[in-house]
């Protein structure tokens, strides 16, 4: 029977201090002051639903054999490409096999849980990731309440850490908010919260959860962890009470330090619950959006043997408080900023043919290893770089993405264009051999040092706003 | 066995435009300005030039591709004109082309002319440009200062130098060049600066500040070369001969193989060693009288002193601070003000350096003239990035020396 084989998560490093946004906007909407506490996760300028999916997938997969993965699914309502399979980028970044099934699932806040249900109904091993970089208007309640994050699961039938007990779905075209098409389609258009609570959560969730429990012959008392991805005050405790679930079994909705990660949020909460759960416990997770998904899992003894991973709490600990609301506005195109003439000239056209020809190198960070002398090198080339070898056509694929390196040289460049100046970059040298001049991300320029340990992370290299094209490549980020 | 270029070709005449923000001049005008001086200096008619080499690097900003812009600007009479580009060594490459043509016997008199008009971009610094479809997909958005700044981090790590000590030595490099440039009416920047000015300047690419960076300017320089016999037949005495022309080009080893530590230029070490051999120089620290190096950034000049085998490895800071490379030191470096004060119109720079050597070796450098007459002068260009570059080392000197 299919179940969860592994889980992982990703939360971007920067946490916008809500007080900073409220201070800027309360003149316009004083009601925002009620949301001034805590912080929310915000993507760096070079992160989107694809890059965060890659990070969550890496956290999930760990040392697990990637060649076993036969299907990859990405759920998101903020996919960077409308017509280019987004999970295809993720699969290439992870250097998954070519003969796998791939699928993007979108269109609803329930996309994450529904994708998980689809994976659990399939066979073989599936990687399913839910990822969201949320778009909100300045001075909106959503700007304060939402968060950016991703969660990933391996679904399979061997070494299951949490088996599926029941999955139940109900489809109801209840529209609490929507994004259509047209000039305003980037942002949610929502309805009054009290209506959403009374007619939505309070009327649609209880019958769906009860139906699921009944199908599994369970009661609320059998649930150890209740994941309700609704931050609105009173909703989750009210549901727990109606189902006979003790209030302390309601999982933290992560509103204080992460924010609502949209369609990824139920899966983020599930990953968080799995990290806290003991073997033999039941976890109930809800997805809400034009209906309800309910999934109940029961953890197995294998959960205790799962290798350590960062998970939600591990990533949450890697944080930097962002108090500069203006930077957040700039990165999210919510303010027109003078970027300078250097920002105009450099944009490369989409380069689809050369990008395709080199996709293992560019998306997978695949390098080479010389069969003759053993030298590991990036990029792979026709002639071995070792001056004592220089053999022709001697290199086999050798992956670099999971290697740790260290800084050999660096700078913090104020001249060149970067959305987050100064542009920090330098030569990164890998212990087993190989090096390349890499952009640094998630760094503070003053803490750069020769010898600093770096890990590779898949990021947006640049965004061509003229053509709407996002180019991706790997960057170096502090290893810890 | 090749015998090298030593004493096979001499300089018949040279010219150099004023460098600077030449808002009122086209590239054509700058070419003519340099050429008229050279032609007069050579004492020949234009039509005796049988072949020409034009160097430009960022030609899309001004004259465009090919040899045509030079032929048109000077109305050359349907002679062969070749455009060369090899990063910042482009000017030295044009010179190499002309010198080799004469040395081969293919022609008697040849012209090398470099020009660059960089001040039409609308912003400071070198123009932003693409690096090729694949490179642009994975290279960081490297600026010139950002790439060369990295020498500092690697040099400090290797030689255990504090950030402050290195920054002070770098500051001395720039202060010295401004002292020299102040005495040169063809230089772009002619103001003296203090160590404090350098240390307090805004950061461009850490640890390089504004005064650690050379300027960007418009300019042109050229050389007319011929055989020693023809020069003598023109009545020339005290001939200045080409002693060595060397070039070393990175093959990707520094960028992709872990042998290189980032603190020096692998190419410069090779090119200078070969140049000394070609010129018959065994003890460069004693024999070389003057050097003009590619001081695009102060830190570049500093580490280059070691790569030219003049300062011992790890010893450049001491030599710099001791004034060894000052105008009144043992081996003046950038006695004309260098890239620091001339700016760097890329295609022209290598020829501008040779122009100063030519003047100094003939005792024609006016207020800047080195009292102790130099016998050998060395010029050095470095284009690209520390991890992947083109390096040229040229040596000129008194004919027969």
Render pLDDT for B219-236 as a digit per residue (tens, 0 to 9).
Answer: 999 999 999 999 999 999
| B104 and B149 both lie in a single domain | no
Task: Report whether B308 contacts B272 (CB < 8 A).
Answer: yes
| B49 and B148 both lie in a single domain | no
- Residue A136 confidence (pLDDT) above 90: yes
B330 lies in a domain? yes
Q: Which of B233, B266, B289 is the last residue of a domain?
A: B233
pLDDT for res A134: 98
For chain B positions 70-129, those within 8 Å of chain A (CB to CB) are 121-123, 125, 127-129
Dihedral (C-alpha) A212, A218, A223, A228: value to the nearest 10 degrees?
Answer: 20
Distance CA A13, CA A146 (A): 15
Q: pLDDT band for position A419 (50/70/90)?
A: very high
pLDDT for res B53: 98
| B31 and B111 both lie in a single domain | yes
| B222 and B281 both lie in a single domain | no
Domain count, chain B: 2
B128 lies in a domain? no
Q: State mean pLDDT over A154-177.
A: 98
pLDDT for res A129: 98
| B227 and B291 both lie in a single domain | no
Q: State mean pLDDT over A71-84.
A: 98
CA distance B399 to chain A (A): 38
Nearest CA in chain A to B205: A413
pLDDT for res A347: 65
pLDDT for res B47: 97
B14 lies in a domain? yes
Please give the interface size between A and B, counted as residue pairs whose CB atoms are below 8 Å apart: 150
| B229 and B245 both lie in a single domain | no
Beta bridge partners of A125: A69
> Which of A124, A43, A140, A131 shows the shortest CA–CA distance to A87?
A131
Q: pLDDT band for position B373 (50/70/90)?
A: confident
pLDDT for res A346: 59
Q: pLDDT band for position A389 (50/70/90)?
A: very high
> Which of B144, B205, B93, B213 shows the shortest CA–CA distance to B385?
B144
What's the farthest any 2 CA atoms get from each other in chain B?
59
pLDDT for res B239: 97
Residues of chain B found within 8 Å of residue A345, distances taken between Cβ atoms: 127-129
Measured between CB atoms, does B151 come within 8 Å of chain A?
yes
Q: State mean pLDDT over A108-131.
A: 97
Query: Quick check: is B107 catalytic?
Result: no
Average pLDDT value over all residues in chain B: 97
Q: pLDDT band for position B1 (50/70/90)?
A: confident
B91 lies in a domain? yes
| B83 and B165 both lie in a single domain | no
Distance CA A459, CA A54 (A): 9
Average pLDDT value over all residues in chain A: 97
Higher pLDDT, residue B128 or A398: A398
B3 lies in a domain? no
Q: B146–A413: do the CB atoms touch at under 8 Å? A: yes
B2 lies in a domain? no
Q: B130–A377: do the CB atoms touch at under 8 Å? A: no
CA distance A432 to chain B (A): 10
| B76 and B182 both lie in a single domain | no
Render pLDDT for B307-321 as a digit per residue (tens, 0 to 9).
Answer: 999 999 999 999 999
Nearest CA in chain B to A458: B138
- Residue B367 confidence (pLDDT) above 80: yes
- Residue A150 confidence (pLDDT) above 70: yes
- Residue A372 confidence (pLDDT) above 80: yes
| B148 and B178 both lie in a single domain | yes
| B323 and B366 both lie in a single domain | yes
Which of A341, A415, A450 is opposite residue B154, by nearest beta carbon? Answer: A450
- Residue A71 confidence (pLDDT) above 90: yes
| Token pair of A413 as six digits | 């460049």
Which of B127, B137, B145 is opposite residue A471, by nearest beta carbon? Answer: B137
For chain B positions 206-225, those within 8 Å of chain A (CB to CB) are 206, 208
Task: Report whether A476 contacts A439 (CB < 8 A).
Answer: yes
Which domains, from first to last, does chain A contain?
A: 3-331 (3.40.47.10), 400-478 (2.40.50)
Render pLDDT for A272-328 as a digit per residue (tens, 0 to 9).
Answer: 999 999 999 999 999 999 999 999 999 999 999 999 999 999 999 999 999 999 999
CA distance B107 to chain A (A): 39
B89 lies in a domain? yes
| B93 and B164 both lie in a single domain | no
Q: Which of B201, B233, B265 is the last residue of a domain?
A: B233
Enclosing H/E stretch for B169: helix B163-181
Q: Which of B233, B262, B279 is the last residue of a domain?
A: B233
Render pLDDT for B36-50 as a digit per residue (tens, 0 to 9).
Answer: 999 999 999 999 999
> Which of B220, B183, B192 shows the shortest CA–CA distance to B336?
B183
pLDDT for res B284: 98
pLDDT for res A345: 66
pLDDT for res A344: 81
Task: Report whether A327 contacts A335 (CB < 8 A).
Answer: no
Nearest CA in chain B to A474: B138
Residues of chain A found within 8 Å of residue B256, distances taken between Cβ atoms: 377-379, 381, 385, 434-436
CA distance B127 to chain A (A): 8
Residues of chain B found within 8 Å of residue A375, distances taken between Cβ atoms: 257
Render pLDDT for A332-359 as a digit per residue (tens, 0 to 9).
Answer: 999 999 999 888 865 678 889 999 999 9
Interface test with B, best of A427, A440, A458 (most B CBs within 10 A): A427
Q: pLDDT band for position B203 (50/70/90)?
A: very high
Measured between CB atoms, does B162 come within 8 Å of chain A?
no
Domain membership of residue B39 as a residue range? 10-120+218-233
Q: Which residue in the list B62, B294, B344, B380 is annotated as catalytic?
A: B344
Q: A385–B256: do the CB atoms touch at under 8 Å? A: yes
Which of A408, A413, A423 is opposite residue B154, by nearest beta carbon? Answer: A408
| Token pair of B2 as six digits | 């090749």
Q: pLDDT band for position B129 (50/70/90)?
A: confident
Residue B274 belongs to a domain with what CATH number? 3.40.47.10
Q: Which residue in the list B88, B107, B333, B341 is annotated as catalytic?
A: B88
Distance CA A460, CA A443 (A): 15
Which of A342, A354, A425 is opposite residue B123, by nearest beta carbon? Answer: A342
| B82 and B227 both lie in a single domain | yes
Sign of the Cα torsion B172, B174, B177, B183 reads: negative
Task: Report whether B10 contacts B226 (CB < 8 A).
Answer: yes
Query: Quick check: is B333 catalytic?
Result: no
B322 lies in a domain? yes
Residues of chain B found within 8 Å of residue A454, distances taken between Cβ atoms: none
Render pLDDT for B251-310 as a digit per residue (tens, 0 to 9).
Answer: 999 999 999 999 999 999 999 999 999 999 999 999 999 999 999 999 999 999 999 999
Measured between CB atoms, does B367 come within 8 Å of chain A?
no
């Amino acid at each position: 029977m299919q179940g969860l084989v592994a889980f992982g998560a990703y939360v971007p490093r920067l946490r916008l201090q809500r007080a900073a946004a409220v201070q800027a906007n309360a003149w316009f909407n004083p009601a925002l002051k009620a949301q001034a506490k805590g912080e929310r996760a915000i993507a760096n300028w070079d992160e989107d639903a694809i890059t965060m999916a890659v990070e969550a997938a890496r956290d999930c997969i760990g040392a697990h054999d990637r060649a076993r993965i036969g299907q990859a699914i990405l759920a998101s309502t903020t996919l960077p490409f409308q017509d280019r399979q987004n999970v295809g980028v993720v699969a290439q970044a992870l250097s998954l096999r070519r003969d796998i099934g791939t699928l993007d699932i979108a269109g609803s806040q329930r996309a994450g849980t529904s994708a998980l249900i689809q994976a659990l109904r399939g066979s073989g091993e599936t990687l399913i990731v839910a990822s969201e970089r949320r778009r909100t208007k300045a001075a909106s309640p959503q700007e304060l309440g939402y968060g950016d994050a991703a969660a990933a699961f391996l679904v399979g039938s061997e070494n299951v850490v949490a088996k599926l007990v029941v999955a139940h779905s109900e489809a109801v075209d209840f529209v609490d908010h929507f994004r259509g098409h047209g000039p305003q389609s980037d942002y949610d258009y929502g309805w009054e919260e009290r209506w959403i609570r009374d007619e939505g959560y309070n009327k649609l969730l209880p019958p769906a959860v009860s139906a699921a429990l009944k199908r599994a012959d369970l009661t609320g008392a059998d649930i150890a962890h209740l994941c309700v991805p609704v931050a609105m005050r009173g909703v989750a405790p009210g549901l727990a009470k109606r189902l006979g679930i003790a209030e302390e079994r309601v999982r933290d909705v992560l509103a204080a330090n992460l924010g609502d990660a949209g369609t990824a949020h139920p899966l983020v909460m599930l990953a968080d619950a799995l990290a806290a759960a003991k073997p033999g416990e039941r976890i109930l997770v809800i997805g809400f959006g034009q209906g309800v998904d309910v999934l109940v899992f029961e953890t197995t003894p294998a959960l205790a043997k799962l290798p350590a991973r960062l998970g939600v709490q591990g990533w949450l600990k890697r944080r930097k408080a962002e108090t500069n609301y203006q930077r957040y506005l700039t990165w999210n195109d919510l303010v027109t900023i003078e970027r300078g003439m250097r920002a105009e000239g450099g944009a490369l056209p989409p380069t689809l043919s050369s990008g395709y020809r080199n996709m293992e190198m560019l998306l997978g960070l695949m390098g080479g290893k010389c069969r003759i002398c053993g030298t590991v090198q990036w990029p792979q080339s026709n002639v071995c770089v070792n001056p004592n070898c220089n053999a022709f056509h001697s290199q086999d694929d050798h992956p670099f993405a999971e290697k740790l390196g260290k800084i050999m040289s660096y700078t913090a460049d104020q001249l060149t264009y970067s959305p987050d100046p100064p542009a920090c970059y330098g030569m990164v040298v890998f212990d087993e051999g190989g090096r390349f001049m890499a952009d640094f991300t998630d760094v503070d320029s003053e803490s750069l040092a020769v010898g600093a340990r770096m890990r590779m992370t898949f990021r947006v290299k640049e965004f061509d706003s003229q053509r709407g094209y996002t180019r991706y490549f790997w960057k170096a980020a502090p290893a810890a | 066995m090749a015998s090298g270029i030593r004493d096979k070709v001499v300089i018949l005449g040279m010219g150099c435009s004023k460098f600077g923000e030449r808002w009122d001049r086209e590239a054509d005008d700058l070419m003519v300005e340099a050429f008229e001086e050279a032609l007069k200096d050579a004492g020949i008619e234009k039509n005796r030039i049988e072949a020409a080499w034009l160097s430009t690097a960022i030609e899309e900003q001004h004259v465009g591709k090919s040899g045509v812009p030079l032929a048109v600007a000077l109305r050359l009479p349907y002679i062969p004109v070749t455009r060369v580009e090899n990063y910042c060594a482009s000017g030295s490459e044009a010179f190499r082309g002309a010198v080799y043509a004469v040395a081969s016997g293919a022609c008697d008199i040849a012209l090398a002319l470099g020009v660059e008009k960089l001040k039409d971009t609308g912003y400071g610094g070198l123009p932003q440009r693409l690096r090729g479809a694949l490179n642009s997909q994975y290279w960081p958005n490297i600026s010139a200062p950002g790439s060369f700044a990295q020498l500092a981090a690697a040099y400090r790590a290797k030689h255990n130098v504090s950030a402050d000590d290195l920054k002070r030595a770098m500051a001395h490099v720039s202060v010295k060049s401004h002292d020299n440039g102040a005495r040169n009416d063809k230089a772009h920047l002619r103001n003296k600066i203090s160590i404090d000015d350098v240390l307090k300047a805004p950061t461009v690419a850490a640890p390089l500040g504004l005064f650690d960076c050379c300027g960007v300017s418009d300019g042109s320089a050229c050389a007319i070369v011929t055989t020693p016999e023809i020069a003598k037949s023109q009545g020339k005495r005290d001939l200045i001969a080409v002693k060595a022309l060397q070039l070393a080009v990175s093959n990707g080893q520094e960028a992709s193989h872990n042998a290189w530590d980032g603190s020096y230029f692998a190419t410069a070490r090779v090119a200078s060693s070969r140049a000394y051999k070609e010129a018959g120089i065994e003890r460069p620290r004693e024999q070389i009288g003057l050097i003009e190096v590619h001081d695009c950034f102060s830190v570049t000049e500093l580490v280059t002193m070691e790569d030219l085998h003049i300062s011992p490895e790890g010893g450049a800071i001491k030599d710099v601070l001791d004034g060894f490379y000052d105008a009144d030191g043992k081996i003046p470096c950038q006695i004309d003000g260098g890239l620091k004060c001339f700016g760097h119109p890329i295609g022209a720079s290598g020829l501008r350096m040779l122009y100063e050597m030519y003047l100094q070796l003939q005792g024609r450098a006016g207020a800047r003239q080195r009292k102790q007459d130099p016998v050998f002068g060395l010029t050095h260009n470095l284009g690209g990035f520390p991890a992947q570059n083109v390096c040229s080392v040229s040596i000129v000197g008194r004919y027969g020396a």
